[in-house]
Chains A and B, each alone.
Chain A
Amino acid sequence: SQTIHQWPATLVQPVGSPLSLECTVEGTSNPNLYWYRQAAGRGLQLLFYSVGIGQISSEVPQNLSASRPQDRQFILSSKKLLLSDSGFYLCAWSVRWTFGNTIYFGEGSWLTVV
């Protein structure tokens, strides 16, 4: 069966510090991979998605970036965090898009920028 893991689960970072969140998927090949953010009182916002190694699409302009160095690895980064980057970050995967395929989420990472 397929599993998805992301880490760290919780982190508190000062403004201006770097960020790295990592996500891996097991039990599948060539997945679509996603990074979402959920801020307090707001819906899930798609940040990045990837359909293959090195292929990253950004949905919203921001100071975050994403990379996919391996087929089942997805990394979210920032060089300098802002207070507004605080939130709940979720990595997700789906099979390469077909009708009906579902997006499955990792456990999430709580980021507090202070």
Chain B
Amino acid sequence: GQNIDQPTEMTATEGAIVQINCTYQTSGFNGLFWYQQHAGEAPTFLSYNVLDGLEEKGRFSSFLSRSKGYSYLLLKELQMKDSASYLCAVRGGGSQGNLIFGKGTKLSVKP
């Protein structure tokens, strides 16, 4: 079967660092994506990992370990506007490479 797990909710303080974990079990693997989704809005693309290691993009970084079926999204210098849901998605095998999404982690940033 195919499964993506991430914590349901997290809370952090403005200016702090938070790490959102994601574990996955899928039929085939062709990359892992992170999306940000503010309440009532569509998801927007944050990052993509296909090789092991860390990808850094400004305040956001994403890490992947394919052997462990594990990824995390690291958010530094948290701002109030970072309060949102963060979706982990895996592109599995198959000819179409469709994304399989986790249920998302709702992050609340407190002053």
Contacts and interface: CB of A to CB of B under 8 A. Distances in A.
A61 interface: no
A57 B101 contact: no
Interface string A21-39: 0000000000010101000
A100 B50 contact: yes
A100 B42 contact: no
Given A42-B103, A44-B43, A108-B42, A100 B96 contact: no
A108 B103 contact: no
Nearest to A109: B42
Nearest to A59: B98
B34 to A, nearest CB: 11
A49 interface: yes
A49 B95 CA distance: 12
B97 to A, nearest CB: 4
Interface of A: 32, 34, 36, 41-46, 49, 51, 57, 59, 90, 97, 99-108, 110
B31 interface: yes
Nearest to A42: B103
Contact of A99 (B50, B98, B100, B102): B50
15 contacts: A32-B96, A41-B103, A44-B43, A44-B87, A45-B101, A49-B98, A51-B96, A90-B43, A97-B97, A99-B30, A99-B50, A103-B33, A105-B44, A106-B42, A107-B41
A58 B97 CA distance: 14
Contacts of B42: 90, 105-108
A100 to B, nearest CB: 6
B33 to A, nearest CB: 7
A24 to B, nearest CB: 15
B41 A108 contact: yes
A95 to B, nearest CB: 11
Given A34-B98, A42-B103, A49-B96, A100 B31 contact: yes
